[in-house]
Amino acid sequence: MLGPLAVWSGDGTAVRVPDAKVRTLLAALLTRPGQAVSADRLIDALWPERPPRDPAGTLQARVSQLRRALEDAEPGGRARVVTRPPGYAVEGEVDAVRFAALVEQARAVDDPQAKAGLLSDALALWRGPAFAGFADEEFARPAVARLDELRLTAVEEHAEARLALGEHAALADELAEAVAEHPLRERLRAVHLRALYRAGRQGEALAGYDDLRVRLSEVLGADPGPELAALHQAILRQDPALTPRRSNLPAPLTRLVGRDAAVRETGALLAAARLVTLTGPGGVGKTRLALEAAAAHPEDVWLVELAAARPRDELAELVAGTLGVRDQSPAGLADALRPRRLLLVLDNCEHVAEPVAELAARLLAAAPGLRVLATSREPLGVPGERVLAVPPLAPDDAAALFAARAPGLIPDAESEPWIATICKRLDNLPLALELAATRVPAFGVRGLAERLDDRFGVLDGGRRGGPARQRTLRAVIDWSWEPLPEEERAALRRLAVHADGCTLEAAEATCGPAGVLARLVDRSLVVRTGDRYRLLESVAAYALERLREAGEEDEARRRHARYYTGLAERADPLLRGPEQVAWLARLDAEAANLRAALAVGEYAPRLVDALSWYWFLRGRAGEARRATAAVPQAFTWHTAFTMLSGEGSDSEELRLAALARDDRPWARWFLSFTHWPYGDLAANEARIEEALAGFRAAGDRWGTAAALATRAKTAVVRGDLAAMERDAAESRALFGELGDAWGTLEATDALGRAAEITGDYPRAAALRRDCLRLARELGMKSEEAFALAGLGRVALLTGDLDEARDLHEQAHRLAVRHAARSAQEFAEVGLGLVARRRGDLGAAETHLRAVLGWLRRIGGGTGVAFALTELGFVAEQRGDAAAALALHREAHAIALGTGDPRAVALALEGLAGARSLAGEHAEATRLLAEAEGLRAAAGVPLPPGERGDVDRIRARLAG
């Protein structure tokens, strides 16, 4: 529409629309893009003087021709022309619609750079006069008039935005043609007059005003409007307000991405303070931010590039030369600046920071109208200085910058994760991202991401036009490295062996005095976040290269491992008491450093031993299993973590092998506690008794409490609920005295189980909620999942199936996410129970069979019996008596072997169901009675949520 009628397919191929009438039809439809144009109006457009005999039919034929032409160009193209009462409509991307949208977007922004860019994009859409070839047709005239007016308005607004950017010289000539074509448009005249005046062409500006005045009088009998008349007077008296500010700022070649808030903050600081310093690591974008903020400053702005500055005597000369001051001594420069109002941008001050600070202080004291905006990798330290530390880009902004700078890159679902990886690996630093973006044509996004371990080789060159120090990633960091004294270089090298940062204490122990670290922070080479200090990944890679060049890597890693081994040994006993939560958080923060320290073989045995309880509390069985496998002295720990990770095929065999090498009370307890419901339950109980006796004999209160909590849990298997309550209560009291939250959780869990078994569901739910709270305080995801599933089990037993399903699903998701296998299987069983109660037998069987295989493999007798019984109920509810009987028989045999009265009672009820389905009513009645008697004797009543199975069986027997 914005030029001769033209159509393109989605891939940019021109579409031929044959036949003049078909083209006229399309033009008429495009006068109202996306909206229906009535058939009568289309007929008038096609045949304004002599319509055909059958106008509606002929119109329909032309529509078919148009659809066919679009379909031939692109499959599905015919759908662009839709029948919509009272006629037809064209749908698709239309240049006129895009043009209007861009103009509206431009009006919504205040930044002249952004406004000019949007309007430039809008005007670039025009290829000639609107509706060229149809402009004189009656149907097109309103649309042509509307578009022409909007185009002229866009030209005026574009010129005003460019004028604000200081492009008056170019505009003075460029607008002459538009003014000649539209001599009576006052807004266009106004911007042209301003451009002429600012370009030093005052006479031409006054002549332009006179030309407009004469034309208005002759054509309209009117005078110029008040705004234009005021402008004329301002030009006559050479009003200073018309004069543009003076500046030597370079025009930006690209759009600034992700720094809108920082630009505003810098502007606010400049309004409030006379010296503002932007600090940050090399490549973070300090210079670009300074230039963007300076461009918005209302006064004269002068940029002085200090990267090449050398002795302090040259600094005043460099500044004076930039400002055109003849007397280039510091005193002469200060005198020249005294009456002036301007912003001085001092860029790249870091290597001459001290003399820059002295000169800035002198000039600011002499010239009250002076403001200074400095960029430096460290503050200048001048009184009154306001420092803004420029951070790396936010992840989304970093991805947007990378995509904008990478030639031909259009992010999609496949490339976006790799882009995110590149941005993260390059610390979201704009310069590094721009360097990396130039490599996309060579490697592709994935290939580039996979090669960043060799970042200095991959990002070597590819960026032309900037300073040499910014053309490669290595050069960027070299610029910061070269001025460092050896003491700071040594500390930076040694920091490189730290993974994910370190504390001040760790840095002092491994790298050098705190004062040196503070200077590296000031120089933006070390990032301080809270109480941690870290290197950006690229700086760390550079420093590690320097460490190797210096031949210091082995010693630095030994020093690092020695410190973190000592830290872990200090933490280990404190993980069993009131400081447990604090030390868990401390070790969490150092997890990467602790893993790195494990690689130093001489410290590995001590470190593994000190970290194993931490790994257990954090549920990191897989990591612990791998670490302990490499340390023969950690065989007991390795065995326990093998069982916890769900990898052991026979829990009892693993325990016996470990105990043959380690018979300490602690080993007997921990190996029995680990997977306590699985393996030889009687042998497990015996070991717990031995461990408890050993702990008590040694006066070990923590060990005593731990063994009591485990013995309480095993008591449920033999149905000794009184012992369970007694041991759990004593354990909870001891752990409470010791201040151990994990132990309190364990004992509370045992009490919750007892309340659940005895049918005290309100108390069971309250205790489970206590467990959930403790697990969350500790950050123990596996225990949190168990607690959620435990609450789900209480809901299930009380018949609240919706709540039960929700809680078990939460537990299952959490367990899967954190690889907590036992908790995952516990939640899976709960989901199977909920599905069966709801009558979804297929889902129930899927859940239960998923668990059964794992339970068989690890020797989970009670669990196997329970899963078999539930599967037997599924078979019974399906009417398969033979399958149900086989499953319940196996369940009953296993339950008898465990001695768990609940398991035996449930298996008896299952057998009763199978017998009743087979018509053996007398036997079924006997089995139900036996189960009821067993429950009564053990004090484990039938839960309301399980009563449905017995009720169903009794109903069958009664029928």
Domain 260-389 has CATH 3.40.50.620: no
Residue 460's DSSP bridge partners are 472
Count H helices and E strands in the chain, helices first.
Answer: 47, 11
Residue type at position 253: L
* Confidence category of residue 944, pLDDT binned at 50, 70, 90: confident
Rounded alpha-carbon distances, angstroms, from residue 336 to 159, 275, 326, 543: 35, 19, 9, 45
98 CB-side CA count, 13 A = 14
Over residues 631-641, mean pLDDT: 87
pLDDT score at 474: 85
| Structure-token pair, residue 172 | 């003075």
Kindly report each contact of residues 587-590 with a partner whose C-beta sits within 8 Å and lies 24 or more positions away, as own/partner.
587/611, 587/614, 588/618, 588/779, 589/532, 590/502, 590/506, 590/564
CB 483 within 8 A of CB 310: no
SS3 303: strand
pLDDT score at 811: 96
pLDDT score at 900: 82
pLDDT score at 469: 62
CB 188 within 8 A of CB 180: no
SS3 375: strand
pLDDT score at 341: 78
Over residues 765-781, mean pLDDT: 95
* Confidence category of residue 767, pLDDT binned at 50, 70, 90: very high
CA 547 vs. chain centroid, Å, equals 32
- pLDDT at 464 > cutoff 60: no
pLDDT score at 927: 95
| Structure-token pair, residue 480 | 């910061």
CB 536 within 8 A of CB 527: yes
Q: Phi and psi of 88, rounded to 5°? A: -140, 160
- pLDDT at 88 > cutoff 80: yes
Strands of 192-341, DSSP E: 275-279, 300-305
Sequence-separated (6 or more) residues with CB below 8 Å from residue 318: 304, 306, 309
Residue 15: which of 62, 80, 60, 61 has the closest Cα? 80
Between 930 and 254, where is the model more confident? 930
**Common-topology check for domains 1-160 and 260-389:** no
| Structure-token pair, residue 900 | 């768990």
Counting residues of the chain whose pLDDT is more than 90, the rounded percentage is 56
**Separation of alpha carbons 435 and 459, rounded Å:** 6
pLDDT score at 470: 64
Evaluate the omega torsion of the peptide bond into residue 86 and state whether it is cis, within 30 degrees of 0: yes
| Structure-token pair, residue 614 | 């931490």
pLDDT score at 937: 86
Rounded alpha-carbon distances, angstroms, from residue 508 to 205, 511, 515, 597: 70, 6, 9, 17
Evaluate the omega torsion of the peptide bond into residue 311 and state whether it is cis, within 30 degrees of 0: no
Which tens digits make up the pLDDT trace of 865-889?
A: 999 999 999 999 999 999 999 999 9
* Confidence category of residue 959, pLDDT binned at 50, 70, 90: confident
* Confidence category of residue 468, pLDDT binned at 50, 70, 90: low
Pick the CATH number of 166-244 from 3.30.1330.10, 3.20.20.80, 1.10.1270.20, 1.25.40.10: 1.25.40.10
| Structure-token pair, residue 393 | 């880009």
Residue 388: which of 263, 252, 481 has the closest Cα? 263
Residue 359's DSSP bridge partners are none
Out of 323-332, 713-722, 726-735, 928-937, give the one with best mean pLDDT.
726-735
**Separation of alpha carbons 417 and 107, rounded Å:** 35
- pLDDT at 465 > cutoff 60: no
Domain ranges of the chain: 1-160, 166-244, 260-389, 395-478, 484-618
- pLDDT at 453 > cutoff 90: no
pLDDT score at 320: 85
Which tens digits make up the pLDDT trace of 358-409?
A: 999 999 999 998 999 999 988 999 999 999 999 999 999 999 999 988 888 8
**Separation of alpha carbons 517 and 529, rounded Å:** 13
Least confident of 514-528, 553-567, 674-688: 674-688
CATH class of 1-160: mainly alpha
CB 15 within 8 A of CB 7: yes
Least confident of 16-20, 97-101, 653-657, 856-860: 856-860
pLDDT score at 211: 92
Q: Is 603 left (phi over 0), alpha (psi -120 to 50) or beta?
A: alpha
* Confidence category of residue 466, pLDDT binned at 50, 70, 90: low
**Separation of alpha carbons 736 and 709, rounded Å:** 13
Over residues 334-356, mean pLDDT: 87
Sequence-separated (6 or more) residues with CB below 8 Å from residue 203: none
Which tens digits make up the pLDDT trace of 560-609?
A: 999 999 999 999 999 999 999 999 999 999 999 999 999 998 999 999 99
Sequence-separated (6 or more) residues with CB below 8 Å from residue 308: none
CB 948 within 8 A of CB 796: no
pLDDT score at 699: 95
Three-state SS annotation for 346-361: EECCHHHHHHHHHHHH
Its sign, for the CA torsion 523, 524, 529, 534, is negative
- pLDDT at 339 > cutoff 80: no
- pLDDT at 313 > cutoff 80: no
Q: Phi and psi of 460, rounded to 5°? A: -100, 100
CA dihedral 693, 695, 700, 705 (to 10 degrees): -80
pLDDT score at 252: 85
pLDDT score at 698: 95
**Separation of alpha carbons 818 and 619, rounded Å:** 8
pLDDT score at 732: 97
pTM above 0.75, yes or no: no
Residue 534's DSSP bridge partners are 527
Which tens digits make up the pLDDT trace of 25-55?
A: 999 999 999 899 999 999 998 998 888 989 9
pLDDT averaged over the chain? 89
Over residues 223-240, mean pLDDT: 88
CATH class of 484-618: mainly alpha
**Separation of alpha carbons 516 and 86, rounded Å:** 80
Q: What is the DSSP letter of 540?
A: H
pLDDT score at 312: 58
**Separation of alpha carbons 105 and 157, rounded Å:** 12
Over residues 818-824, mean pLDDT: 85
Q: Is 95 left (phi over 0), alpha (psi -120 to 50) or beta?
A: alpha
Over residues 244-248, mean pLDDT: 75
Residue 629: which of 645, 652, 649, 617 has the closest Cα? 645
Tally Cβ neighbours within 10 Å of residue 406. 23
Over residues 276-296, mean pLDDT: 92
* Confidence category of residue 166, pLDDT binned at 50, 70, 90: low
pLDDT score at 170: 79
pLDDT score at 888: 93
